[in-house]
C-alpha cells in the first residue's frame, strides 16, 4: 500500500524517490532490492520510507504503475494510430524497450506486478486488428510471436550486450524472413 503521506509529497520529492526506487529495481532486481539503498539514494530516513510505503514491493509497484501510465500513452498511439502493419508497430514497441531500460524491466518482470500485466496486455494488442473483437486466432498467434522476438532481442541487448544496431538488424532479418514466407 502506498500511503497518503507519499501522495501528498511535492512532485519534485516524489520524483527523487521514484528515481531512487527505479535505480534500485534496475540494479538489484525485484527480489534483491533493499530499502536502505533506496533511502540513501533518495536521501531520506528509513522511517520516512515506511511512512510512504508498506514495503519495498509496494514501492516497486508504485514505481511501475507510474512508469506504466507514462508508457501507456505512447503504446496507445502506436496501437491505435499510424501504420496498421504489425511489424511497423512492433518495431516501435521494440524501440521503446531498447530506449527505456525500465520498460524492459517491467516486461521481463511481468509476473510480479498486476500493473505490469495490464501494460503487457496493451503491448500485445499491437496487431492491425487489435481493437476488433473478432481478431482471428492466427492474428493473435502472430502478435504473440512478434512480441516474443522483441522481448528476446531486448534481452540480448540488455543482458548479453549486443549493440542497438545489431538488435535492429536482428529484428529486420526476422521481419524480412517472415515476409518472404508469405
- pLDDT digit string (tens) for 71-105? 777 777 666 666 667 788 788 888 888 998 877 87
- Cβ contacts of residue 60 below 8 Å, gap of 6+? 21, 25, 30, 33, 112, 113
The C-alpha cell 543482458 sits at 159
Domain interval for residue 11: 1-54
Our count of domains for the chain comes to 2
Beta strands in 59-149 (DSSP E): none
pLDDT (0 to 100) of residue 8: 93
Residues 114 and 46 in one domain: no
Residues 103 and 159 in one domain: yes
Q: Is residue 158 part of a domain?
A: yes
Residues 38 and 74 in one domain: no
pLDDT (0 to 100) of residue 41: 96
**When comparing pLDDT for 78 and 171, which is higher?**
171
Among 26, 54, 82, where does a domain finish?
Answer: 54
Give the percent of the chain with pLDDT over 70: 78
N-terminal to C-terminal alpha carbon distance within the chain: 50
Q: Is residue 59 part of a domain?
A: no
| Closest listed residue to residue 155, CA positions, set 112, 94, 114, 111 | 94
- Say if residues 66 and 15 touch (Cβ distance below 8 Å): no
Q: Is residue 63 part of a domain?
A: no
- pLDDT digit string (tens) for 149-162? 888 999 999 989 99
Distance CA 33, CA 57 (A): 9
**Which grid cell is 181?**
514466407
Amino acid at each position: 500500500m502506498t500511503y497518503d503521506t507519499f501522495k501528498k509529497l511535492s512532485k519534485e520529492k516524489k520524483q527523487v524517490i521514484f528515481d531512487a526506487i527505479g535505480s534500485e529495481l534496475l540494479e538489484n532486481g525485484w527480489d534483491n532490492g533493499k530499502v536502505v539503498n533506496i533511502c540513501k539514494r533518495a536521501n531520506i530516513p528509513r522511517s520516512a520510507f515506511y511512512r510512504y510505503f508498506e514495503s519495498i514491493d509496494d514501492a516497486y509497484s508504485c514505481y511501475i504503475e507510474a512508469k506504466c501510465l507514462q508508457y501507456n500513452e505512447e503504446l496507445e498511439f502506436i496501437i491505435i494510430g499510424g501504420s496498421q502493419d504489425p511489424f511497423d508497430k512492433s518495431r516501435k514497441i521494440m524501440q521503446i524497450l531498447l530506449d527505456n531500460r525500465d520498460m524492459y524491466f517491467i516486461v521481463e518482470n511481468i509476473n510480479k506486478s498486476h500493473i505490469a500485466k495490464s501494460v503487457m496486455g496493451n503491448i500485445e494488442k499491437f496487431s492491425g486488428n487489435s481493437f476488433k473483437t473478432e481478431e482471428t486466432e492466427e492474428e493473435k498467434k502472430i502478435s504473440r510471436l512478434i512480441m516474443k522476438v522483441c522481448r528476446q532481442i531486448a534481452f540480448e541487448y540488455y543482458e548479453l550486450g549486443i549493440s542497438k544496431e545489431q538488435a535492429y538488424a536482428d529484428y529486420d532479418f526476422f521481419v524480412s524472413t517472415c515476409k518472404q514466407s508469405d
